[in-house]
Amino acid sequence: MKRHVRFIALICCLLLVFTSLAGCGDNAIEPVVEPAAPTPAEKTVVEPTPTEKPDVEPTPMPETGQPTSPPKNQVDESEIPQYEGYTLLWHDEFNGTSLNTDIWNIEQRRPGWTNNELQEYTMSGDNVFVRDGRLVLKAIKTQKNGKDYYTSGKVNSRKKGFLYGKVVVSAKVPEGQGLWPAIWMMPTNEGYYGNWPRCGEIDIMEVLGNQAHIAYATVHYGEPHAQQQGFKVLTDGTTFADDFHEFSLEWEPGEMRFYVDGELIHKVNDWYTSIGGEEKPYPAPFDRSFFVQMNLAVGGDWPGNPDETTDFSKAEFEIDYVRVYQKPEYDTNVKKPEKKFREPLEDGNLIYNGDFAEAEDLNDDINWKFLLFQGGQGTAEIKDGMMIIKTQNQGTVDYSVQLVQADLPMYKGKEYRISFEARASEVRDMIVCVSAPNVNWIRYFKDTLLTLSTEWQTYTYEFKMTEKDDNYGRLEFNMGNKGSTADIYIRNVRVEFIE
């Protein structure tokens, strides 16, 4: 009898199932029909995160006793500044009580992961936290196995990747030797064109803590590695550690523009990448989805390591907001611009104002430019047909005190002659070279040390250009870190073809 009951019950259940399925058929969702071809606006849709395993796995927030649910921005979008032609794609004002994990991942990295940096990136709430409406990435100095040990914070928005747009970030950097804050972008699928630098990198802001009055913006790409860098120098006695400043990028298919507080500081429209020696169609590699990330590094090849002057109680990189905008569509039919090469003057000189007849502005990017880095202090002046450089502090590297002229046309296979006259107020050394700022700073004419006397002497050098054509060769006179602050006088500078 029990078997008959079970059998009848089974029949009833099957009838109910069939009935429910038949009912669903009346309300079934019609299949979505995709258009035959994308509209221009659809070309800018954010690319999905690739299905392969990313370099950095999304990580949960650390246990800090704070709410685990994503905080709200607590800011009405109508209060967010709008830009003509753009719509707000996403933003974070950091007005919640914890990091919004709908946007951000916290990265974990071991010391020495890249650039010989010293810090361990952790998930600790001591290194990454939200305070008073700001994201704080804090570097901490501790001891491990009897040695100095550093931890810090790094976050990325990989899940918010986008293709083309405007990024606006308000931030305040820390000051101190060895501290290296950065706002930068990497491709969502780094393997598409290959590992760095072939995949491309966009550095919206980098500041070295020992020269916090200079903010750098850089684009990396290519195989071999190439880069183009611009910078903003604060000349009013303040630094980027004194207050919040706005750093922004406008990224379009054929051009990138970098700004500090609304001032254009760098523009790039000529880049490339290649795989196995085959150059990919322009604008590769910057035709793929990228994402924003921010970190505070400690030490490394560029800033050098911390020292006794570094105050880690103040080693905080504060971010007030991150806002990403996008245009409804972008014209992706772009061509790589043709290189324009400087023409020599009537007398064959490739150096403009080489006789120093014009007392030009030495702070702009026209002809001569005087630069100070890494502790260098000094002045430069054109007077009586010569350049006069007075050094107060020689700095820590040879380019700490530097006189340059860029835009020199370098043609593969061409032979060149460099000549100039120079003297010093006391016997001292100086370095001359022709560099390639856009080709990873290689040298077309090698760093050449010369010893200046107190009497005028003529110096002449010849070299052959063996690399690819470059319209941005740069003549450099490097006077830093040479054991002397004696004045230097230079006149009659020439770079010319040897026919």
Write down the catalytic residue from 93, 206, 250, 318: 206
Question: Within a 10 A sphere around the Cβ of 38, how many other Cβ atoms?
Answer: 11
Q: Give ∠ CA 121-115-290 in degrees, rounded to 5.
A: 70
Please give the Cα distance from 80 to 116 (Å, whole number). Answer: 39
Q: Would residue 206 show up in a list of annotated catalytic residues for this protein? A: yes
Backbone angles phi, psi at 209, to 5 degrees: -60, -20
Q: Would residue 107 show up in a list of annotated catalytic residues for this protein? A: no
Please give the Cα distance from 154 to 133 (Å, whole number). Answer: 18
Beta-strand (E) ranges in 133-280? Answer: 134-138, 140-144, 147-152, 154-156, 165-172, 179-187, 201-206, 214-221, 226-233, 245-252, 255-260, 263-268, 274-275, 278-279
Residues 6 or more apart whose Cβ sits within 8 Å of residue 382: 356, 358, 359, 360, 362, 368, 388
Write down the catalytic residue from 201, 250, 252, 318: 201
Structure tokens at 334: 């772009």
Count how many Cα atoms sit within 13 Å of the Cα of residue 277 in the half-sphere of its side chain: 0
Q: Give ∠ CA 140-144-147 in degrees, rounded to 5.
A: 90
Of 432, 438, 425, 498, nearest in space to 463 by CA: 498
Element of type H or E holding 5: helix 2-25
Could you give the residue numbers annotated as active site? 201, 206
